[in-house]
Copies of this chain bind each other. A is one copy, B any other.
Amino acid sequence: MEFTVQQIAGLLQGQVQGDGNATVNRLAKIEEGTPGALSFLSNAKYEPYLYTTGATAVIVSNKLELKQAVQANLILVEDPYTAFSTLLEVYQQAMAAQREGVEEPCYLGHNSSIGDRHYRGAFSYIGKNCRIGSGVHIYPHVYIGDNVTIGDNCILFAGAKVYPDTVIGNSCTLHAGAVIGSDGFGFAPQKDGSYKAIPQIGNVVLEDHVSIGANTTVDCATMGSTIIREGSKIDNLVQIAHNVEIGKHTVVAAQTGISGSSKIGNHCTIAGQVGIVGHITIADKTIIGAQSGVSKSIKETGTFIQGSPAFDYKQNLRALSVFRKLPELQKQLDELREKR
């Protein structure tokens, strides 16, 4: 797709400074701009690149005072970052709109329905008795088991796997290889030392606007539901065990694991490689630092913890700073004891 600088300016309600007929066909960072690219300048730190970029056009603030001559054509707007974000969205929507229709072979089970404006990739599989909304994109190798419900405008990327009885809201995204609804890890120890699987008959519920990262796993509940509430975003390779509940608008970074039956609040921020034990409750707006191990419930809203086991963030930093000096401390202590 190719646009003139003038067309872009029109879309963004901006003004052109330079050649409005120049054409652009892709977006690029200002420091990586080459002819044909459209960039933006928002952070003042990057202004030097404005005078050297090879981009054909750059979106800049209409308050910017140029310090040198500029090769690129400029589009002057109120807020370049917002303008560029708008552009990114329009671009992505345009790309998505192109993706419609059904590639063969693909499998649609008995008594399943899917709304209009959908894409079903080759080798995608939809089981029996599924209800799938409008504008849903189902990429190749997606597996949707029996009795699954999916709302409107969801995207299931290649090879996402949804076990039977899962309920997915509107505008959810499952990235490639994500597994929703695998059996919880529940085994009853037997008298002979072996283990017997406890049947896992619950399901997973993802509310609206939930995003699940690539190769992340969300286990079904033993009974009832594992639930991820509205707007929460889960990164890649995260493990969410059976009967976990994650509140609204909570963010969980890559490779974190949440053990069985724990309840995470709303608006929490959980960094990468965190481990959370089972059967605890984490208050709203809790922040958990990377690689932390959380072994106790967090009761106070807005707590910031770090460490394994995790405790108050600042206290942990202070303890860690002494930790490095431990050999010296021991030496000082030994000296005192000798001289006593």
Contact = CB atoms under 8 A, between A and B. Distances in A.
Contact of A231 (B107, B121, B195): B195
Interface string A22-59: 00000111001000000000000000000000000000
A14 interface: no
A326 interface: yes
A80 interface: no
Contacts of A120: none
Contacts of A325: 319, 330
A263 interface: no
A169 B161 CA distance: 25
Interface in A184-243: 185, 187-188, 193-195, 197-199, 201, 209, 211, 213-215, 217, 219, 223-224, 231, 233, 235-237, 239, 241
Contacts of A255: 239, 255, 257, 275
A123 interface: yes
Contact of A322 (B201, B236, B239, B329): B329
Given A27-B201, A257-B273, A122 B122 contact: no
A336 B340 contact: yes
Given A92-B199, A141-B141, A251-B195, A185 B121 contact: no
A239 B290 CA distance: 14
Given A231-B194, A236-B217, A257-B272, A326 B336 contact: no
Interface in A266-280: 267, 272-273, 275, 277
A175 B273 CA distance: 22
Interface in A114-151: 121-123, 125, 139-141, 143, 145
Interface residues of A, number: 96
B319 A29 contact: no
Interface stretch (A2-10, A66-74, A83-91, A297-305): A83-91
Contacts of A330: 322, 325, 329
A177 B29 CA distance: 31
A324 to B, nearest CB: 6
Interface in A71-123: 85, 88-89, 91-92, 103, 105, 107, 121-123
A121 B219 CA distance: 22
Contact of A179 (B28, B176, B321, B327): B176
B213 A214 contact: no
A107 B224 CA distance: 36
A63 interface: no
16 contacts: A92-B201, A122-B125, A123-B123, A141-B141, A157-B161, A177-B217, A182-B236, A215-B217, A217-B237, A217-B254, A315-B324, A321-B327, A322-B330, A323-B323, A329-B329, A336-B337
Given A195-B231, A319-B325, A322-B326, 17 more contacts: A105-B105, A125-B140, A141-B143, A145-B158, A157-B163, A158-B163, A159-B177, A173-B183, A177-B179, A194-B209, A194-B249, A214-B219, A236-B239, A237-B237, A239-B254, A291-B291, A333-B336
